[in-house]
A and B are shown apart, each in its own frame.
Chain A
Amino acid sequence: MKRGRVAYAGAIHEAYPEGDNVRLADGRIRQEHEVVWLPPFEVGTIFALGLNYAEHAKELQFSSQEEPLVFLKGPGTVIGHRGVTRRPAGVAFMHYECELAVVIGRTAKNVRREAALDYVAGYTIANDYAIRDYLENYYRPNLRVKNRDGGTVLGPWFVDAGDIADVTQLELRTIVNGTLQQRGNTRDLVTDIPALIEYLSGFMTLAPGDIILTGTPEGVVNVNAGDEVVCEIEGLGRLVNVIASDADFGRG
């Protein structure tokens, strides 16, 4: 089952796909652009993986790591489907990252990899923007790069784990202004989902609503104000986002 969360007519609703439209929990059917899309559920702790696709790591010229490169993001960076993300004037390289997001469904502590998928409630799509101009080498990637307002797009749907036959064979694509720019497959994850859950739950407790953004494949290019960025993952849908300028945000 696919579930979303939208704002419509003064309230927040659970919503479901209805052909090309959306059906609200109260029965109303509306077009996709008539509602405001929120992140599909209340997000807990946000884990993100750096360099978790071999080809992308090569693209950014990194050698292999001793343990997964995990960093954390705050709740303020998250926006929903069809949201708008600001590109500061004067930066040289801002790029999207299409990622499979794993949603934890049960409290998890010291979980072995054999049992790890029992702790997964489902999946969604993440577009985890970065502005490389702001990279500094302290607690890298630093939050000014990775935790900006509107820099983490989630949705449109939360998809039950049971609806995905094989999460290790999902194709990811990013299309910028209609041109396919990024392509990968979850079979190429350096550290796979069970190993990530085993690793994280080995030193901390995971809780329902926590999400793990599993990293992005190769094919990141710069985006500019006005660009439409669409991230697609097989079986999960398509997540749309638009880049806006400083002027749109009242910044001179």
Chain B
Amino acid sequence: MFACADYLIHIEGDPLPRDVDAQQALALLSSDAGCRAPVTGAVYGTLLNDRAALLALGDTMNAAPYKAPPKAPILYLKPRNTLAGHGARVAIPEDATGVEVGASLGIVIGRTATRVSVEQAFDYVAGYTIVADISVPHASVYRLSVRFRARDKFCVIGPTVVARRHVADPDNLTITVKIAGRPAFVASTASSVRNVATLIADVTEFMTLAAGDVLTLGVPHGSPVAQAGDEATLSIGSWAPLRVSFVGENARDGGQP
């Protein structure tokens, strides 16, 4: 079962997530408490679902190694070691100059979704969340090493799951990433190749999504790169923003991920 009536939030130290109203969620967050990811299912990322990303690839899509533009949705897993919550401190790998902070709409699945039609897709959505899909910058998207996207805490989710009824049009939401001292990065879910309903339909044609799973709509092209010492604030629409800070690898806190 996965359900979200209002705003689902899992405060660090609480045994279970709470389902609270907007004011209570803000009050909980104002105490500066850390959060866990408000979801526990599998997290599937979607690649190249931004028209600007395809435009940037341009003619190279027809050259080796790609040979043709993508047809089906291109997906990847964010495995369980990558999951972290609001306020997470993420280590920049020693051999990287920084990490890309991709901000994506996370579609939170509410019930088993197999062969779902576009028309009925929203019936399978419990709500939405903010996903900080972090990666080591890499030029090629041919055969990808998992070390670029599957490092510990490279998928920060939350702070809340926003119930579907609070989101009138998920395909027209402003996405913002602010890193202190730099101009904000602004994008929109409106520039997606597949919108929310089409993506759910095309993915569930070949694989089932389970209640509590998260499918990202995809990271916008040109996402900013963060270095150790940076703090990023990711926002979608007017939802409570997601905060992530970046530290050097040797400064990583010693606890279990």
Contacts and interface: CB of A to CB of B under 8 A. Distances in A.
Q: Looking at chain A, what size class is its interface with the partner chain?
A: 20 to 34
A205 B206 contact: no
Contacts of A137: 65-68, 142
Contacts of A148: 206-207
A139 B144 contact: yes
A246 B47 CA distance: 28
B71 interface: yes
B55 interface: no
Interface string A71-109: 111111100000000000000000000000000000100
A138 B67 contact: no
B207 A142 contact: no
Given A136-B68, A137-B67, A148-B206, A73 B77 contact: yes
Nearest to A45: B79
Contacts of A73: 77
A45 B155 CA distance: 15
Given A45-B79, A205-B257, A136 B206 contact: no
A137 B73 CA distance: 12
A41 interface: no
B80 A142 contact: no
B207 A147 contact: yes
A36 interface: no
B103 to A, nearest CB: 20
B41 to A, nearest CB: 8
Interface of B: 42, 44, 47-48, 65-68, 70-77, 79-82, 93, 114, 141-147, 150-152, 206-210, 256-257
Given A138-B141, A139-B76, A203-B147, 18 more contacts: A44-B80, A45-B81, A72-B77, A76-B42, A76-B207, A77-B207, A137-B66, A137-B67, A139-B142, A139-B144, A143-B75, A144-B72, A144-B207, A147-B206, A148-B206, A204-B81, A204-B82, A207-B81
